[in-house]
A and B are shown apart, each in its own frame.
Chain A
Amino acid sequence: MACTVAANVHATSLRRVTEAVGRRFVAGVEDFGYGAALLVESLVWIVLGRWLNQRVRLHAIVEEMMSIGVRAIPVVAVLAFANGAMMAMQGIYTLREFGAESRVVAGIAMSVVREFGVLIAGIVVAARSGSAIAARIGTMQISQEIDALRVMGISPVRYLVAPILVAMLIMMPLLTVLSNSLAILGGGAFSVMELHISPDTYLERALAALAIQDLVQSLVKSLVFGVLVTLVATSNGFSAAGGAEGLGRATTRSVVLSISAIVVADMIFTFFLSR
């Protein structure tokens, strides 16, 4: 008797867990579908808006480019430079034990361009704009400004999401190039001192280690990261509800999810591309 009760309790709790997991999964799939729909709709507006007399405003795009890209330059620059320098330090000290410290320059160049340059740019943009975008759209949602757009016959996706997407697609590659260059520069600053080579030699060795595919790979990644941040941030903004607390939750969720999305996407990229 007692045994069956215990088994029953066990079965119900198991059922609850599976149900919860199932619900989460369905919600995840829904989120993914919503993001995909946002992407498609934005692209439609960007391409067809002109003909439908519902154009995506250049003014709005420029504004987004400023806040997403231009104002992110100092942070990206500092992080990339420091990161490059740290890689040089770690690389030189570790490889010295194997007597392979001269290979450190090639190592810095390759890992920066293939991996860390774009990752730094992506994480900075996710942290800065992922929160800002979610907060802005979330505020508009809660104060019914999104409803106001819709009843005016203005698509919120065209008006709010499309300019962000365009700005991301332009600014992410540029920030990535900046990030790559400064990380290599940062690595150079330390290597030149520690390895007693001239800056020219450093640059020569760094460039020699790079193939054009590495740069292409980094730029493609930057575009994907831009799309991910846009979709995660805007969809979290649109789904904000429940006053100031809900807004805070949406903003936090947006930053956490966009950084996670970037890192996971990067891992998948690396898995397939470095084989």
Chain B
Amino acid sequence: MSACVESAVGPVIEVEDLVACYGNQRILDRVSLTVRQGEIMVIMGGSGSGKSTLLRYLLGLRRPDSGAVRIFGKDIARLSSAEWRELRKKMGVSFQGGALFSSMTVGDNVCMPLREHTRLDEKTIRIMSRMKLEVVNLAGFEHLMPAQLSGGMIKRAALARAIVMDPSVLFFDEPSAGLDPVVAADLDRLILRIRDALRVSIVVVTHELESAFAIADRIALLDHGRILMVGSVDEVQRSDNQRVRNLLTRTSEEQVVDVEEYLCRLTEGVE
């Protein structure tokens, strides 16, 4: 009830000047980003762009050192663990490798959030989980173990688990990675269908251009830890920014060599 009231006002996720460092390396450099209610935001970038790190912050798996992440208007650095738990019930995540619990059947995996967070009747829980398995076309597979599933089925089972609590925001980490194009396109269509039916906001992290263009309302391009641009699919495709063009055509940029700095990089610490 309160979920709808809150999310109707203001953006679902706000990232403000987020800085992330591993050791001395800056992974994210003053990243700011807003995810609006009901949209599909695709965060796109190559490997090393910092997109996976950004996702970890959005999921609250890391606390920001500098800058802020707000989910439904709440600063995640200032939440009590009880508030976090409430917030978690409204978030669904589909991890890159599925992250299904390998010791449980597919059905138990999907039921798990309900069993842990609700006091619904076991019958209701079973029906709910089977409904979600129907949605992802995995009806009848609930008794299998995750190890018995194919890559595409694992992603779909993970999706069923992610939506079983009817979340307000859904996250996908590389949904099409490791899938053949046909299965990947199926998954894209499924994502769109779920958005339309459940009116969730969706954040997708990916490096796949086709998938991004197929599903995105807006795309955020991440490059070397910085947001290069945020815009609709059209805006991104028509951009004449050279680095955006490079990212889209996948040519690696010829970097201007700073002799002094380059030599220093090669020889630093070598005695």
A and B touch in the complex (CB under 8 A): yes
Residue contact A145 to B85, C-beta cutoff 8 Å: no
Residues of B within 8 A of A139 (CB): 102
Interface presence of B95 (CB below 8 A): yes
Interface presence of B9 (CB below 8 A): no
A52 to B82, CA, bound (A): 9
Interface presence of A244 (CB below 8 A): no
Within 8 A of A (CB), among B88-138: 88-89, 91, 93, 95-97, 99-102, 112-113, 116-117
A143 to B97, CA, bound (A): 7
Interface presence of A268 (CB below 8 A): no
* CB of B153, distance to nearest CB on chain A (Å): 16
* CB of A4, distance to nearest CB on chain B (Å): 17
Residue contact B117 to A153, C-beta cutoff 8 Å: yes
Residue of chain B at shortest CB distance from A150: B61
Closest 10 interchain pairs by CB?
A153-B88, A144-B99, A148-B99, A153-B85, A151-B93, A144-B95, A145-B99, A152-B113, A151-B59, A154-B116
* CB of A214, distance to nearest CB on chain B (Å): 41
Dominant SS among interface residues on chain B = mixed
Q: Contacts A152-B88, A153-B85; is A147 near B95 (CB within 8 Å)?
A: yes
A144 to B117, CA, bound (A): 20
Residues of B within 8 A of A147 (CB): 59, 61, 93, 95, 99
A40 to B93, CA, bound (A): 29
> How many A-B contacts if CB must be within 8 Å?
48
Interface presence of B60 (CB below 8 A): yes
- Ordered by A's residue number, 30 sampled pairs between the chains whose C-beta atoms are within 8 Å are A52-B82, A54-B116, A139-B102, A140-B101, A140-B102, A143-B99, A143-B102, A144-B95, A144-B96, A144-B97, A144-B99, A145-B99, A145-B101, A145-B102, A147-B59, A147-B93, A147-B95, A148-B93, A148-B95, A148-B100, A150-B61, A151-B60, A151-B61, A151-B91, A152-B113, A152-B116, A153-B85, A153-B87, A153-B88, A153-B116
Residues of B within 8 A of A140 (CB): 101-102
Within 8 A of B (CB), among A144-163: 144-145, 147-148, 150-154
* CB of A27, distance to nearest CB on chain B (Å): 15
Size bracket of the B interface = 20 to 34
Residues of B within 8 A of A151 (CB): 59-61, 88, 91, 93
A152 to B89, CA, bound (A): 7
Q: Which residues of A contact B (CB under 8 A)?
A: 52, 54, 139-140, 143-145, 147-148, 150-154
Residue contact B89 to A153, C-beta cutoff 8 Å: yes
Task: Given A144-B96, A150-B61, A153-B89, output 19 extra A-B contacts at Cβ < 8 Å.
Answer: A54-B85, A54-B116, A140-B101, A143-B97, A143-B99, A144-B95, A145-B101, A147-B61, A147-B99, A148-B93, A148-B95, A148-B99, A148-B101, A151-B88, A152-B112, A153-B84, A153-B87, A153-B88, A153-B116
Residue of chain A at shortest CB distance from B89: A153
A6 to B26, CA, bound (A): 38
Residue of chain A at shortest CB distance from B119: A53
A140 to B97, CA, bound (A): 12
* CB of B53, distance to nearest CB on chain A (Å): 13
Residues of B within 8 A of A152 (CB): 88, 112-113, 116-117
Residue of chain B at shortest CB distance from A144: B99
Residue of chain B at shortest CB distance from A55: B116
* CB of B148, distance to nearest CB on chain A (Å): 16
A143 to B100, CA, bound (A): 9
Residue of chain A at shortest CB distance from B113: A152
Contact with A along B44-81 (1 / 0, CB 8 A): 00000000000000011100000000000000000000
Residue of chain A at shortest CB distance from B56: A147
Residue of chain B at shortest CB distance from A145: B99
